Homo-oligomer: A and B are copies of this chain.
Amino acid sequence: MYKVNDNYLKLPGSYLFSTIAGKVTAFQAQNPDKNIIRLGIGDVTKPLTAPIIKSLHEGVDEMADAATFKGYAPDLGYSFLREIIAKEDYASRGAHIEADEIFVSDGAKSDSGNIQELFAVDNKIAVSDPVYPVYVDSNVMAGRTGTYDASTGCWSDVVYMPCTEENGFVADLPKERADIIYLCFPNNPTGAAITKDQLQRWVDYANEHGSVIIYDAAYEAYISEPDLPHTIYECEGARTCAIEIRSFSKNAGFTGVRLGFTVIPKDLRCGDASLHDMWARRHGTKYNGAPYIIQKAGAACYTPEGKKSLKELVGSYMKNADAILKGLQSMGYTAYGGVNAPYIWLKTPDGMTSWDFFDFLLEKANVVGTPGSGFGPHGEGYFRLTAFGTYENTLAALDRIKEL
């Protein structure tokens, strides 16, 4: 008799956002007259911008003509996209990344989940706490996390690095062995940013201790303060210790379009093994490239018109973020984030648990947010609101919260 991968069965509950979706659906079914405002999942609401739409239509037209039709994409992405990314996202910031160190994919979630495959099962992972659930869950599925303690919400073989008010939601360097370190800045869920000096300390730590950093920079476009690093490769030595994951979901509104990329420098080696070559092999064997029309739309994000339109798009969401942050603070809430990230991280009032506050907000204000504890034990007592609603809904949600 065949046997299943028991590691899957260790996962407690369902994926966080599936649980939330279930609760919201049930509430709506019982209260069909209520107008729910969703500031929970980090999904965008504004349409694709005009230069992207134009590019998509052109791509579709190319697929209609035998002379311009495109079959299988190159395994690792079209050169036209990899080259523009190398130039615009890396060279422009003084970071040395070659086009062939950029692996185009269908999004940062796939890459975040799949990247752990490159590593042996007995590596120890370290994650910020709270953290985007995919990092831990994908390692659970691979059998890398030991046993789950329901009372603490922690896995025995995971190093949790608390992100608290005290450290400004930027974790301290781990004191225990940490082979694979997941970092995400600007941070989901806390909205915290990291300075270049702070990030350099992580890079130095990784090079000294033989760790690899998986740096999730999906929210890079939301950085508004000067002097913050937009990529880990702005730090010296990052080419020998860091993988960076990027997304088009939030800067260009591609959550339903699906495009992202992962950078693995050729200098990232473990003995004789090249992580770059291993990831190329994974793409070649288990992936068949992102659709041509969507890679073309990705390249359109870097044209002058494309960049201008995305700046406006991000700016409009950041107007929401500003309204939420200042609105909550004016109501007496303690709230963070919202300056370099589309997320606001607020302390639940009156010592409520995160899930109690979720239910309270859903039932009394018909507003959906995300319970901080869903992101890990140190998220307890916090709550995440996103800036991805419409401006009108964002203000309406704030009015409802004010009346609670």
Q: Which of A12-62 contact B (CB under 8 A)?
A: 14-15, 17-18, 41, 43-48, 50, 53, 56-57, 60-61
Q: In angstroms, how far is the closest chain B Cβ from the Cβ of A121?
A: 8
Q: Which of B47, B63, B286 contacts A256 (CB 8 A)?
A: B63
A257 within 8 A of B: yes
The answer to whether A4 and B270 touch across the interface, beta carbons within 8 angstroms, is yes
Q: Quick one: given A14-B284, A46-B66, A286-B138, are A256 and B72 in contact (CB under 8 Å)?
A: yes
Interface stretch, picked from A103-111, A147-155, A300-308, A349-357, is A103-111
Q: Quick one: given A2-B119, A122-B3, are A107 and B69 in contact (CB under 8 Å)?
A: no
A291 within 8 A of B: yes
Q: Which of B48, B110, B123, B211 contacts A63 (CB 8 A)?
A: B48
Q: CA separation between A121 and B5, bound complex, in Å? A: 7
The answer to whether B291 and A71 touch across the interface, beta carbons within 8 angstroms, is no
The answer to whether A2 and B288 touch across the interface, beta carbons within 8 angstroms, is no
Q: Which of B2, B56, B209, B210 contacts A212 (CB 8 A)?
A: B2
Q: Quick one: given A2-B212, A47-B65, A118-B8, are A255 and B72 in contact (CB under 8 Å)?
A: yes
A180 within 8 A of B: yes
Q: In angstroms, how far is the closest chain B Cβ from the Cβ of A19?
A: 10
A290 within 8 A of B: yes
Contact residues on A (Cβ < 8 Å of other chain), bracket: 35 or more
A75 within 8 A of B: yes
A228 within 8 A of B: no
- Nearest B residue (CB) for A273: B4
A361 within 8 A of B: no
Residues from chain B with Cβ under 8 Å of A288 in the complex: 106-107, 109-110, 255, 258
Q: Quick one: given A71-B255, A134-B285, are A118 and B15 in contact (CB under 8 Å)?
A: no
The answer to whether A44 and B71 touch across the interface, beta carbons within 8 angstroms, is yes
- Chain A contact residues, CB within 8 Å of chain B: 1-6, 8-9, 11, 14-15, 17-18, 41, 43-48, 50, 53, 56-57, 60-61, 63-66, 69-73, 75, 106-107, 109-110, 113-114, 117-123, 133-134, 137-138, 141, 179-180, 209-212, 253, 255-258, 270-271, 273, 275, 278, 281-282, 284-294, 390
Contacts A110-B286, A141-B285 aside, 4 further interface pairs with beta carbons under 8 A come to A4-B119, A15-B75, A45-B71, A258-B291
Question: Closest 4 interchain pairs by CB?
Answer: A113-B286, A1-B210, A2-B179, A15-B284
Q: Would you give 23 A-B contacts (Cβ < 8 Å), ordered by A?
A: A1-B210, A2-B210, A3-B119, A3-B270, A4-B271, A4-B273, A14-B284, A17-B284, A47-B66, A47-B69, A53-B60, A53-B63, A56-B60, A56-B63, A60-B60, A70-B256, A71-B255, A72-B255, A106-B258, A106-B288, A117-B141, A141-B286, A256-B289
